[in-house]
Every structure is written in structure tokens, then in C-alpha cells.
Structure 1
Amino acid sequence: MTKQGAVRGTVSADGTASFLGIPYAAPPFGARRFQPPAPPAAWTGTRDATTHGPTPPKAPYTPPFDALIPEAMIPGEDCLNLNVWTPSPGPGARLPVMVWLYGGAFANGAASTSAYDGSAFARDGVVFVSLNYRLGTDGFLHLDGVPDNRGLLDQIAALEWIRDNIAAFGGDPDRITLFGHSAGAISIGVLLNDTRARGLFHRAILQSGAAHHFLRPASARRITAHLAGKLGIEPTADAFAAVPLDRLLTAQAELRREIGARPDPAVWGEAALNAMPFEPVIDGLAPAGPDCGVDLLVGSNREEYRLFLVPTERLHLLSETKLRATAEAYGLDPDKALPVYRDARPGAVPGEIFDAMVTDWFYRIPAIRLAESVPGSYMYEFARRSSAFDGRLGACHGGELAYVFDRLDDPAYAPMTGEDPARAVADAMHGAWVAFATTGEPGWAAYEPSSRTTMIFDDTGPGVVKDPRAAERALWEGVR
């Protein structure tokens, strides 16, 4: 029984129960388009919760990423919904709760893909929740007269629903771990500083995203004006609401490609460096700090950017000129920084050095800065290299997900994990996530500036390293 009415789910052979497609907010269309999430309507009788609900509108991934990244598209307006897996349906169990936020550059993603099935977490004594939030124009485009960051407001509304209802599913509303990947992790980095989210979650796991990616209002206005110009409309909420959805989504996808083709800060502002036109709009954002009241586990993958270089064949095509220009754009001196990266990678081509440097700028250094800001945080690195693309894909962006969710047999992950996923890595990584959600400790020492203890997950088994790649980390002091 939820506060809106009763729901009926499904019990699996192992005794865990799933409840799918439960609305946590009203459909964000019609008069509610571009508005904060409104409470869901109550219902009479028992609502069927045996199938996933609609997904937020989005354009599909373009090739070759459409074959690599799990995605689901279910039509319908009631897209602000969530899913619950629990080993103990009914009140009284007070189990730890884990709430998942998907990635997708704030323009893609869905909670309903099989890749985010929460069965393994429920099997291990956790109440698992995944949720949909608005994306792209509807979730993150700056529009005068309506709230910014509507996708983040959706996440807060879902957390409020979880606080008010999760005990009915066996969960403890005072022991909620929010975790996410990429855009989902960046969202958490913002929510750590948002007073509206204070007290709604108590622990957080940030995978390949922290608190360094956002748009300042001036940059957000440029992107809005550019997208409006593409559509031939005024840059207003009413004008965007009148654009047919398929046309709007096509223009969104074109916008992302245009930034990648012409990454000019004069045109795109901050988005020129990360190629994300849709992201949180904030005047400024500092790491959370010691008073955030949330226990943190944060980290990244060793070769994140290979996801964007290997399938597109750019890894061995990228030029030295592009490598040096990117180093300069990031604030590094190429003559000093690039030899440091090369020393650890003898014989590496420019694309391999580019991957290491961009991985640091985009993912690893923001994770380190967040851990430095919150004493007692835990740091990890996923280093298990995939066999996909003849082994060149490496420990790329998203490569950890099959291991975190303990879904090595899910076909949705096969194109990225390759043919020989490592069971020991899944046992260790999934187990650490469950332990952190349950006790606040993942199983290794906290990250302190004096030691920089980092758990490395790779084929040799989990192992602690002190200050991995210290010389490369040091390049970013005062820069990133």
C-alpha cells in the first residue's frame, strides 16, 4: 500500500518481489510541461505494477553507441515513474535502500532497461529503486520563466516519494543510498549541495561523475538560443512546447553533434569542453564539503574515454595536434604534461594519451576533488579491461555497470563486457556496494590526502593502491 493506493507486483522464484512503473509524480505534459513535478494522482482499487512504465522522451543513441549502451523506449506521458525490487515486501523489515540514477549525458537513459534490473541487490538484502527523470529540453534546457534543472527536481520528488513510501516495501527511510553513473553521478554531485535534497539520502555512490560539470546561466542561454534558431522559434517555453516531439528530439541530437564538430567556447560556453548541451544550470558548484551529511563512495574507470574513441575508430586516427590543443584547452602546458602521460605508456599513440588525459579531466580528478572535500570518503577505480573490440575498449566508461549490478549474463551488457566477464570482479564490486549501503563501509580504508587509498577492481582481484598515477594527478593541482 502506497500513499496513492495499492500496487500489485510480481514475486520471482527466489522470493524477491518487483513492483514496476509506479508513478511518483504526475505526467509532465500539457499544462505541466516545463513545470516542477506535481504529486501523482491517487487511484482506487489495486494498480498493476508488473510491467515497466513509459520512459522520458529522448532521441535514440546514434551508431555505433546504439549497439553498445543499453536503452529502452516505452511511449506514454506517465513517464515519471519508478521501480522497486525487495526481498521483503511489506512493512517492518527496515532494510537498506539503494536508489539508482541512470547516465546518458542528461539526454538519454531509462530505468526500465534490463541492465538496471535490481534483482541482485534484492537477493543480497537491499531494497532497490530505479527511477526515470526528464531529459534533454524537458529536463535541462534553460527557459525564462520556468524552473531550471527540472530533471533534478524530478529526482528530488522521487526521493520524497521513497521517503514516504519505502517502508511499505520493507525499506528503511533513514538508510537510503543514492547511487548513479555518469549523468546520474553528476546529478548526485549537484544534489549534495541542494538544500531541497538534504536529508533525503544518507549515503551516495558516484560512478564516473562528480561535481565539475554544469552550465552557467550565460552559457545555458546561448544553447537555448541556438536550439531555438535551429527550430525557427522564439526561445520561450511556450514556443518549445508547441514543437512536435519528434522534431524536437531530432534537433536535440543534431545539437550534440554540432558541439562535437565545432567545440568553440564562444558559441557553447562550458559545453564546448564536455559536449553536453543539457546539464545542470548553476552559477557555480563547489565539491560538497565536510558538512554535507552524506557518506561518500566515489570513483571512475581507468580508461573512460575509450568508449568514445574505440568504436568510432578515432583512437588511432587522433592527431598530435588535436592532443596538444586539448591539453591547452584544459589548462595544461602540453610540453610539461604530455611527457608525464607518455612516461607511463611507452609507445602509446596520441589517441591513447588523449584517452588518459581526458579521462583524468572529465572523470578521475573531479572524483578526487569530491573525495578530498568530504573527510572519510572512499575511493575506487575500475580497471578490468573488456575483451570487446579486440581488447581495445579497455576499462571504458560504463564498463563497471555489469559488475556493479551483478548481471554478467545479461545480453544488454555483452557488447561492452566482451566474451569473458570476470565473476570475481562482480562478486567484489557488487559486494562492496551492498556493504557500503548496509554499513557505510565498503571494505577498505577511507581516502585521505596523506595516503590517497584507492581500491582497484581488476582481474587480479580487488587490491588497495596508495595514490595511483601520482605524477599524472599532480599535473592537475590548481588546474582542475
Structure 2
Amino acid sequence: MIQPETIGADAAPAVEITSGRIRGVRRGRIDRYLGVPYAAAPIGENRFGAPQPVAAHDTERDCRQMGATAPQLPYAGGMENYLSTVTVPGDEILNLNIWAPAATPTDVVGAHVAAHPVIVWIHGGSLSRGSNAITASDGSAFARDGVVFIGVNYRLGAEGFSVLDDADTNLGLADQAAALRWVRQNAGAFGGDAANVTVMGESAGAICIAALLAHPDAAQLFDRAIMQSGPPDSRPRRKSRLITDLMAKEIGITPTRATFAATSAPRLLEAQKKVTAGTTPITGGPAFTLTLDSTLVPRDPATALVAGRGSSIPLLIGANTEEYRLWFIPTGLMKKIGWLHIAAAMLKFRISPGTVSRYRRNRPGCSVGELFGALATDLLLRIPVNRVADARLAQPRGATTHVYEFAWRSPVADLGACHALELGFVFDTLDSADAHAMGGPDAPQQLATEMHEAWVRFAKTGDPGWPTWNAYRPVRVWDGAGNPLVHSPREDERASWR
């Protein structure tokens, strides 16, 4: 709980959490606690092992600077122009950033502070990049609007998602679960309501949330979920270990915990860079994935969610209209995609000629790359979103589901309504360098205001402000030109998928 002597307007806040006393920094009406460990540093005997508890500390810990980030490669091949990489050195990479409404005397009843809803943010980055220090996902606007916002760092790449012969899998996902348990225990110290926790993620973060939502113990970790542009997905061990085997071969070691732990993080990153060259979420290639196991991902999340897992937890879910353009425009792939690629996709994913023809008719003048991208976006994201929403609706006592589509088109480099563009709007951080890189300096603030308010409403009440999913398939389309509620958008295309 917030100590009484820290409530004054100019006082630096200090709080007691399960590991000891920490001190943050107050800026205006927002308290920030940065780099707060939720698990022990994953080094030494803890490397490639399950997250371990933080050791208690008797002295006050300074939490006024960003914490260490997980080892990762910077974006390259043109992607670095739109997606930034923040590197903070250090071993304590399992840390949280917390933005909380600053407590005032009117908040205090006895020794307790009025409870605010909590959002826990799990960043994206293909399970190999990203951090809680990205400017576009700064939590200040959420704290300004009465939410305790917590961003999670977790192990990435080989450190978090290798499939080794004698080690646990999905370590990065285990880190996230540990962070959520920490939040249940400590949210009250920051004025948060530990019984009103929304987990929120984008891209790989949303994929991880799907796995957590599908887990039998989901309700013990969080109360609501927001999944942005990330479908439920996992791979059997024999498939998800491909990248681990390729990296081991590149380094010249066997894929065991001992050999990987004896290999430096820079060397692992060097091998990762070589074996993943050319990989994208749309075109495929060696990449880190969640792995089916007996503990965290006991069942394929897509199958489990369709069967009713997680249906008691309210869900806000959606995707962007032109997800593919983030990978196709910066890399030049748009001009390289040909009819052979579409033919191969039709064969691999059993896409009917009628479906391809329908998409082409609906996009007169589109290039082959744009046609391929539209098909891939719907196959990988829009169709799974609809399937999950439909399955939850079929549950007799299921919780609400709200579906959105982000359709505002960026004028920057023809990115359009691409993957990750919505982040600056959801976080109300259009003035950040990251948001400028993707959306330009003139992105519509009114759209950010309305989207952000909807996400805040969902965290507070479970209702973002439009009808819950029903037989009419209502979708809030965030286009910046009225943001209409559309029933069954592009239904002819959706219905053409098997």
C-alpha cells in the first residue's frame, strides 16, 4: 500500500511489495515504478529454467529507471524504419514497468487506497523482439484515465522459446504467467484492484494471451482479455523445435540445456539471425512458436478456445484490415509475390479457386502481392477471430465477446492499415517517435481518443461501447471517418473459407 508520507504532491512515491520496499518517480498525476523485478534474473543456474521467485531485499530499491531488456536483434531489412528496438543492459530482464494514478489524500480510506482496474500489457515482436520500454506503448495515458497499467518484459528468442532435449518449453510464456501471479499479489500496493485485471497483448503478445486464456487456470491469472492482431496458435514439439535444431547446428552444439546455457546470448543471437533470414509471419520460415506441452499449453489454443475454454472471461479481440503490408512494403515483398505463391498457398491451406476469385473481384486493380496479402491476413487473423467469437457465442454461459477491425490507412510509405499501426491509437501516444514512424505526424487524434477510451471502458466495465458479438456479427470498424458499427463485414469473403 502507498505509505502516508508519500501522498504529498511533491513526494516521490514508495510502496511495499512482496519482495520489499521500492521507490518510483512522480510526474504530474502519474506515479511510475520502472524495472520492478517479478522473478529472479534468468542467469547462471536459472538460465533455461522456470522463473524463480525474487529474493527479498531489506533496503529500499530504486525503481526510477527502465529495467533491463531481453537479449534481441534489432529490426532490419527496412523494418527498422517503422519498428524500434530499445536495449537496456543488465541481467534482471524479468521486470515490470508500472504506471499508476498518483494517490491523493481523497483516495485514502484508513491506510488503503481506492482500487483502480489493472491492465497487464504483453508486448509483441514474433516472440523474439520487443520490450516494455517502447514509446508507443507507454502506459501514461491509461494511468491518466484511472487504470494501473503494467508492462511485462519476458524472455525472448532462444532464451524463452527454445525446444531443448532436457528443459521446459515455453519459458517466455511461463514468465508471463509468473508476472500475472505477481500482479495478483501486488496490484493493491499501487492502488490497483487485484480482482479486476485485464491482460492485453498485440501480435505475439496476443498469441500468448490466447494460450493463457485456453489454460484451465486462466481465471486465476486475469479477469478480462484483449487480443490485438494475434491468433491462437501453437505447434507440436517436433515442429516447433526446428529453429532450435537449426541454431544448434549453426553453432555446432547439441540442443540441450547445458550446451545452450554454456553459449553466450550474443552467439545465440548470431545463429538466430542466420537461420531466420527471410522469415516473416505472412510468408513463413523458421521462427519461434509456442509448443504443445503438458503444463502451459496442454492443448492447441485454437482448438481449446473453439471448444469453450476461456469462455467465462470477457474478451475484446480484433485485427487490422491490411496486416500484411508491414512485412510486404518495407522488405519489397509486395513486388516479388507472384501467382506461383498464390498457387502454393491454395494447395497448402486448401484455399478454393472460388475464394481467390472472389477476393480478386472485390479488389479491382489490385496487384498479385495485394491479393496474396489479403488472403493471408484473413487466413491467419480475421477468420480465426470470427471462429473464436462464434464459438464463445455458442457457449450457454459464455462471457461477452467484442470484435473490432482497425481500418485507418497510414499515409506513410503506403503502409495502409498495417500490423501494429493501432498501437499509437490504443495507447494514445500519437506524439511518440514510434507512432510517428508508422502513422506520420498528422494521424487523427480523435481516433486515438475514441479507441483509447474504448479500451479503458473495457478494462473498467467489460463493455468497450458497442454491441457484444451476436448472430448479426457486429464489428466496430476504426477507420477515423465515423468508426461505424458494421454487421458481417465482407461476409461473402468470410463465408467462402471452409
CA distance in 1: counterparts of 2:102 and 2:309, whole angstroms? 34
The change in CA–CA distance for 1:316 and 1:414 in structure 2 (over 3 A counts) is same
Aligned ranges 1:33-432 → 2 under 5 Å: 33-89=47-103, 91-211=112-232, 213-257=233-277, 259=279, 274-275=284-285, 277-282=287-292, 284-285=300-301, 286-288=303-305, 289-290=307-308, 292=310, 293-333=312-352, 335-375=353-393, 376-389=400-413, 392-432=414-454
Partner of 1:263: none
CA distance in 2: counterparts of 1:275 and 1:173, whole angstroms? 40
Contact 2:360 2:371 in 1 (8 A): yes
Q: Given the two structures, how large is their TM-score scaled by the length of structure 1?
A: 0.93
Contact 2:48 2:257 in 1 (8 A): yes
CA distance in 1: counterparts of 2:101 and 2:291, whole angstroms? 38
Displacement of 1:418 after TM fit? Answer: 1.9
Residue of structure 2 aligned with 1:10, choices 5, 25, 47: 25
CA distance in 2: counterparts of 1:71 and 1:324, whole angstroms? 36
Q: 3-state SS of the aligned residue for 1:195?
A: coil
Partner of 2:3: none
The change in CA–CA distance for 1:352 and 1:474 in structure 2 (over 3 A counts) is same
CA distance in 2: counterparts of 1:115 and 1:273, whole angstroms? 26
CA distance in 2: counterparts of 1:156 and 1:419, whole angstroms? 37
Contact 2:147 2:456 in 1 (8 A): yes
1:204-238 superposed Cα distances (whole Å, 9 cap, x missing partner): 00000121x22211112333222211111111111
The RMSD of aligned alpha carbons is: 1.6
The change in CA–CA distance for 1:287 and 1:397 in structure 2 (over 3 A counts) is farther
CA distance in 2: counterparts of 1:342 and 1:356, whole angstroms? 9
CA distance in 1: counterparts of 2:229 and 2:286, whole angstroms? 15
Q: Given the two structures, how large is their TM-score scaled by the length of structure 2?
A: 0.90
CA distance in 2: counterparts of 1:460 and 1:259, whole angstroms? 35
AA at the equivalent of 1:374: R
AA at the equivalent of 1:202: D
Displacement of 1:317 after TM fit? Answer: 3.3
Q: 3-state SS of the aligned residue for 1:199?
A: helix
Q: 3-state SS of the aligned residue for 1:159?
A: helix
Displacement of 1:291 after TM fit? Answer: 5.1
Displacement of 1:196 after TM fit? Answer: 4.2
Displacement of 1:247 after TM fit? Answer: 1.4
CA distance in 2: counterparts of 1:276 and 1:467, whole angstroms? 35
> Which one is further off, 236-245 or 283-292?
283-292
Contact 1:149 1:280 in 2 (8 A): yes
Report the identity percentage. 40
CA distance in 2: counterparts of 1:48 and 1:276, whole angstroms? 40
Displacement of 1:44 after TM fit? Answer: 1.6
The change in CA–CA distance for 1:198 and 1:144 in structure 2 (over 3 A counts) is farther
AA at the equivalent of 1:250: E
1:459-478 superposed Cα distances (whole Å, 9 cap, x missing partner): 2122100111111111223x
Matched, 1:22 2:46: no
The runs of 4+ residues in structure 1 deviating greater than 4 Å are: none
CA distance in 2: counterparts of 1:374 and 1:88, whole angstroms? 38
Contact 1:188 1:210 in 2 (8 A): no
Partner of 1:265: none
Displacement of 1:290 after TM fit? Answer: 4.0
> Which one is further off, 395-404 or 113-122?
113-122
1:121-174 superposed Cα distances (whole Å, 9 cap, x missing partner): 001110100010111111111112211100010001000110000101000000
CA distance in 2: counterparts of 1:101 and 1:77, whole angstroms? 20
Q: Which runs of 5+ in 1 are unaligned?
A: 261-270
Displacement of 1:324 after TM fit? Answer: 2.3
> Which one is further off, 180-189 or 421-430?
421-430
Q: 3-state SS of the aligned residue for 2:195?
A: strand
